[in-house]
Structure 1
Amino acid sequence: MPLWWWLVDSLLFVVVLLVLLVVGLLVRGRLLARSGGAFDMSVTRGADARAQGWMHGLAVYGETELRWFRTFSLSWRPRYRFTRGDVQVDGRREPVGDEVHAIHPGHLIVGTKHSSGVQQFAMSPNALTGLLSWLESSPPGQRVNNVL
């Protein structure tokens, strides 16, 4: 078999793998979103207004925690878990500078304190309203740490 056949076969194999990867990402995202209470949310561990460090993801509400999954990952385990009583929300702002291009259009940036090291969330205004409502609706006796 000539060398160029091996190259064509190898290229075809790589293309098939890439298509399977994209299909896997799409199926995973759809199945996570079907569980209900899912919205787009980006996170960063940095506290300053820079584009570097932002990660796109999907946040899914649970009964007592908000689970955050990276968009470009095949893992079924959340990257971060934000327990309702341990999340402190502090202020909101519009993205500035290069941040405008690092997060989804129309998203607001919210400062947060959490043991995971995540210091900022970026989400739509409607998702922020839902998050604040979810945090405030904790069962009696649990502390609520949202300040806006």
Structure 2
Amino acid sequence: MGIAQIVGLALLLGCVVIGWLAMRRLSLVRSGGVDVSLRRVRASAPKSTRNWNLGVAHYVNDDFVWFRIISLGRRANVTLSRRDLEIIDRRRPGSTEEYVVPPDSTVLRCRDGQRTVELAMTPGVLTGFLSWLEARPPGNLGDYPQAS
């Protein structure tokens, strides 16, 4: 096998992977997904533009399910429960973040139990997210006795 054939095979493989990722994103968006960038926040890590990931999110009952775009896996990468989700802070992206999050985004810092994440959303997606979050039933429905 010559060098040209190896390079051709590598290019073909690269095109197949890129095609798979494009089809995956298209499938996620067509099935009701919205574009959301996510960053996991760690107390020890300094604030930077690193660790932002592009993704598509779905609302599944009481869960906000997020899929990373650049991933060959089919399962959700992050699931946030609406019952435990709390918005801690809301801000505009910093000057260095404007290049890694969608244009015109708002960044929400959210806590889901012990985990803290930042979500970057465009205005339309933000409106839908806040509506979904505010529509949660009051209290913990799991405490009510079941009807017999």
Instruction: State the TM bucket, normalised to the shorter chain.
Output: 0.7 to 0.9
Instruction: Please point out which of 82, 85, 93 is paired with 2:83.
Output: 85
Give matches, 1:100-139, under 5 Å: 100-115=98-113, 117-139=115-137
Equivalence for 1:30 = 26
Measure, in 2, the Cα distance between the counterparts of 1:101 and 1:70.
18
Aligned residue pair count: 138
User: CA shift at 1:96, angstroms?
Assistant: 1.2
CA distance in 1, matches of 2:5, 2:71: 27
User: 5+ residue gaps in structure 1?
Assistant: 144-148
More strand by share: 2
- 1:40 alignment counterpart: 35
Aligned-residue offset at 1:46: 2.6
Which secondary structure state, in structure 1, belongs to the residue aligned with residue 99 of structure 2?
helix
Greater shift in the superposed pair: 105-114 or 39-48: 39-48
CA distances 1:27-83 after superposition (whole Å, capped 9, x unpaired) = 1111111221x1111111237652112111111111121110111112110100011
More helix by share: 1
Please list the CA deviations of residues 82-124 of structure 1 after superposition, one character each: whole Å capped at 9, or x if unmatched: 1111211123111113111121111111111124734211101
AA in 2 matched with 1:45: R
Instruction: Return 5+ residue gaps in structure 2 as ranges.
Output: 142-148
SS of 2:29's equivalent in the other structure is helix
2:7 corresponds in structure 1 to: 11
- In 1, distance between residues paired with 2:114 and 2:80? 8
Rounded Cα–Cα distance in structure 2 between residues aligned with 1:96 and 1:140? 35
Change (3 A) 1:80 1:116: farther
Q: Match of 2:41, SS?
A: coil
How large is the Cα RMSD of the aligned pairs?
Answer: 1.9
Aligned equivalents of 2:116 and 2:83: distance in 1?
A: 15
Q: Give the 3-state SS of the residue equivalent to 2:2 in structure 1.
A: helix
The percentage of counterpart residues that share the same residue type is: 30
Q: Is the 8 A contact 1:58 1:71 kept in 2?
A: yes
TM-score, L = length of structure 2: 0.84
